[in-house]
Structure formats: C-alpha cells, structure tokens
Amino acid sequence: MAKLDFDLKEGAFTRMAKEKGYGNNVQKLATDIMKLKDKGKLPNGKKITPLMVKRANFVVNARKFKK
C-alpha cells in the first residue's frame, strides 16, 4: 500500500464537511449531526455514523476550549 502524504485523522471532520456540502463550516455540520443523530440522516440524505457523532461531539466541545 502506498504511503499517504497526509494523516487521515488530521482534518478529517473538515474534509467530511466539504464532502457533505457544508464547505468549511464544520460548526454547522457538527450542530446538524448532533441535532439529527436520532433520525440517522443529515438534511442532504447522508447517513450519520457513530464515528461522525464522535467527531461532531469533539467539535461541539472544542468550542468551549480556552484560547
């Protein structure tokens, strides 16, 4: 397997936001995931996975980090 030039975990949520049509707005994607996790789908019809919920929870909690 070829070595990647980047770490798959670093920037994963930002990449996911771009793929799902949210641009660079990771906060909006995280909010939507947390609101709609019980329904299991985003407004664009994409399935919400447990890993997406875990990453979204981190983004929501990161808002509270002290700068």
- Contact between 61 and 51 under an 8 Å Cβ cutoff? The reply is no
Q: What is the pLDDT of residue 28?
A: 92
The whole-chain average pLDDT of the chain stands at 85
Average the pLDDT over 15-39 and give the result.
Answer: 90
Average the pLDDT over 35-61 and give the result.
Answer: 90
pTM: predicted TM-score of the whole model, two decimal places: 0.78
Q: Which two tokens stand for residue 33?
A: 């995931």
Q: What is the pLDDT of residue 3?
A: 67
Average the pLDDT over 21-32 and give the result.
Answer: 90
Q: Cα-flanking dihedrals φ and ψ of residue 26, to 5°?
A: -70, -30
- In 10-66, DSSP assigns E strands to none
Q: How many CB atoms lie within 10 A of CB 36?
A: 13
Q: What is the DSSP letter of 45?
A: S
* Position with higher pLDDT, 29 vs 2: 29
